[in-house]
Structure 1
Amino acid sequence: MDVSALEWSITVGVTVAVLLFDVLIVARRPHEPTMRECSAYLAVYVGAAIAFGAWTWGFHGQDYGIEFYTGWLVEYSLSVDNLFVFIVLMAALNVPRKYQQEALMVGIILALVFRAIFIAVGYTLVENFSWVFYVFGAFLVYTAVNLVRSYRNHEEEHPEDNRLVRFAQSHLNVGQEYRGLTLWWKENGVRVVSPMLIVIVALGATDIMFALDSIPAIFGITQEPYLVFTANVFALMGLRQLYFLLGGLLKRLVYLSLGLAFILAWIGGKLIIHAMYKGGVIDWEVPTLLSLAVILVTLAVTAVASLVKSSKDDVEVVATDSVPPAPAPKD
């Protein structure tokens, strides 16, 4: 893929401009956004991703357009899973709703930074060592297996119990009051650290863990650094609005981890086949268009099955609550 320096400059420049615009607005007026506000921003970000994919298709060819859309869907799916962890984290650390926007914005910026670092490292590895595709593929399959195990064992996410978070809580004089992005101040001559700093540490640790999954996954779709970067950027934009827009709906996606497990296992297998193809063991690869179809069908089935299951559970709870208590036995 022949990407000019001008294209790279415009892409990075627009990304920085959007982030600065978002940060300046959030910092100026911390608040809990309305559904209308969230819907408008989310429509703009999703529309921009679709338009960018169409532009890539038109100017760089059909194959690269399909690779972008597939990579964007994979990264977006993993980011939605990341949102669920953010919800658990915000609740566990008692972050006020009006300051959650700021915390999420910091989390998204950290995610972009960490993913940019991992993209650079990953690209260097895949360009110089073809065997690394075996490692990436095996890692994604291993991650998929762990997701299934966690689901079957009903293990809950506890991002606030991260070692780094516990270390910060035990070694810093953490106060009880949230003051937005003001991370420390003095009370009676003693420096106090805002609990928001603990939130940021937890978000950063979570972002690193998710980057370890998402970067091998996107390299399973495309090895073009420009598409890898833009797929991640568009997947992260609008997550803050999606967090408030969906809210409790994310908790109703009970089969999300199973759907992501299947997607990661599929991409892991695709990476292993790609490694065998690069090594001359086989003479065919899994078409990206097939991967796009598999991912779309998996996400659709996961969403429908989750909502059906959640609705059934709600009906059972209502039915159980409506049963009158048994009469007390007479003496």
Structure 2
Amino acid sequence: MSNEVLFFCGFALFIIIMLALDLGVFNKEDKEVSLKSASIMSLIWVSFAIGFYFLLRLHANYLHSIQNMDDLIAITAKHQHSIKLVPDNFELSLDIYSKNLALEFITGYVIEYALSVDNIFVMVLIFSAFAVKKEYYHRVLFWGILGAVVMRFLFIFIGATLISKFGWILYLFGAFLIYSGIMMFIKRDEEEEIDTKNHKVVKLASRFFPVYPQFVGHDFFHVENGKKYITPLFLVLLIIEFTDVIFAVDSIPAIFAATKDPYIVFFSNIFAILGLRSMFFLLVNIIHKFHYLKTGLAFLLVFIGIKMLAHDYMEKIGFTTAHSLYIIIGILAVSVIASLIFPKKEEAKN
């Protein structure tokens, strides 16, 4: 068994244990998640991501079993890392590689975490439209994010396979991200609505399964007179899964702008979406205050798209992963600070 498989299996086992503890120990009862609990869980998941950053920084060679200079050169070329190795100095070259790999991870993590905020806007709308009780939010998000982990795994490694065989796909991703950013900017002030009766997911699910007319506690399924129904809560779960697929179309190509290593794309993506649930409870009541955030995310997508299209030129002028990280953090910081300094007019009157 290769080091990559062992590393991945260890990571998967860690995620399974954390999710089992989350649902089976810390959240066995249906209850509204408090701001304190959400803050603690957010801090824990961010700490895990930072810890993983340092693991890569100190032991990046374990991931792809790099034992000598030839291995390092091969892996650097395979995953198109924008670094310059030092000939005849393996230790220094490995340190350069490890530093860059850790930066690629944290950059991908920040990108996914930032784009996940836009997902929170939609989740709030979905829960509100279906009148889901707050004590059931955690259960829906838990299973929704578990499904997202599986789908992201498939998307990422299929994407990585396509990129390795057809390099021009990166330019297609770049153009798509620029288009997505422009459309997000144009529609930034539009009020989104969820039609609970005519939503495409509701119509599709209703075609194959009988839908029970009301919620049955936290149950996703209900049996009555020998007939099995799906509940409205299960419809909410399906819509959240569908929404995540739509968001993944933007976020996964965006992370490939930070790194071409599929394992790093996966690790950064999963850490971010696992932290999304706690971040949802942390921001659910104040997300509307960050009204410039969509504008910031639009600029973020355009920047990442341009970086993918002009990758070779930017590499020649010395543009590094660290520079990308600084710009991404800068865009997000400006959008958040602007939202707080210049609140919406209706909020300013209150």
TM-score clears 0.5 = yes
Structure 1 residues without counterparts, runs of 5 or longer? 319-331
1:224 counterpart = 2:257: no
Decide whether aligned partners of structure 1 residues 157 and 254 sit closer, same or farther in structure 2, where only a CA change above 3 A counts: farther
SS for the counterpart of 1:62 is helix
Cα deviations by residue, 1:251-292 (Å, 9 ceiling, x for unpaired):
111111111111111111111123x56xxx995574211110
The aligned runs of 1:272-283 (5 Å cut-off) are 272-274=309-311, 283=316
* Distance in structure 2 (CA, Å) of the matches to 1:28 and 1:175: 26
Given the superposition, is the C-alpha separation of residues 143 and 43 from structure 1 closer, same or farther in structure 2, using an over 3 Å criterion? same
1-structure distance, mates of 2:223, 2:343: 45
How far the C-alpha of 1:181 sits from its partner, in A, is 3.4
Which residue among 138, 144, 158 is the counterpart of 2:194?
158
Aligned positions of 1:92-107 closer than 5 A: 92-107=129-144
1:141 has 2:178 as partner: yes
**Aligned letter for 2:221?**
L
User: CA offsets per residue over residues 293-325 of structure 1, 9 Å max, x none?
Assistant: 011111111111112233654222x3xxxxxxx
Please give the per-residue CA displacement for 1:161-183, whole angstroms capped at 9, x wherever unaligned: 53122333466333212321342
The percentage of counterpart residues that share the same residue type is: 33
- What SS does the aligned partner of 1:28 have? coil
Residue number among 199, 215, 228 corresponding to 1:177 in the alignment: 215
Check whether the contact 1:26–1:102 (CA below 8 A) recurs between aligned residues.
no
State whether residues 137 and 269 of structure 1, in contact with CA within 8 Å, keep that contact through their aligned partners in structure 2.
Answer: yes
Q: Which residue of 2 aligns with 1:167?
A: 204
Instruction: Name the SS for the 2:223 alignment partner.
Output: strand
* Corresponding position of 2:163: 126
| Cα distance in structure 2, aligned partners of 1:82 and 1:234 | 15
Output the amino acid matched with 1:174: Y
TM-score with structure 2 length normalisation?
Answer: 0.82
Which is further off, 168-177 or 295-304? 168-177
Q: Report Cα offsets for 1:73-101 as digits up to 9, x if no partner.
A: 00001112111111110000111111111
Aligned to 1:247: 284
State the match for 1:236 in structure 2: 273
Structure-2 separation of matches of 1:293 and 1:13: 32
Maintained 8 Å contact 2:220/2:232: no
What is the RMSD computed on CA atoms of the aligned residues?
2.3
Query: Which deviations, in whole Å up to 9, do the C-alpha atoms of 1:6-35 show, x marking residues without a partner?
Result: 322211111122122223247731111222
Q: Distance in 2 between matches of 1:138 and 1:26?
A: 43
Q: Is the 8 A contact 2:221 2:228 kept in 1?
A: no
**Structure 2 residue runs without a partner (length 5+):** 61-97
- Aligned in 2, Cα 1:39/1:159: closer, same or farther, shift over 3 Å? farther
Compared CA separation, residues 210 and 52, structure 1 to 2 (3 A): same
> Alpha-carbon deviations, 1:130-166, whole Å to 9, x = none?
10011100110111011011115x2425375531223
2:43 is equivalent to residue 5 of structure 1:
no
In the other structure, the counterpart of 2:307 is: 270
Deviates more, 1:244-253 or 1:101-110: 244-253
| Deviating more after overlay: 63-72 vs 19-28 | 19-28
- Residue identity in the other structure for 1:297: G
Give the paired residue count.
310
1:305–1:271 CA distance, 2 compared to 1 (3 A):
same
Change (3 A) 1:139 1:159: farther
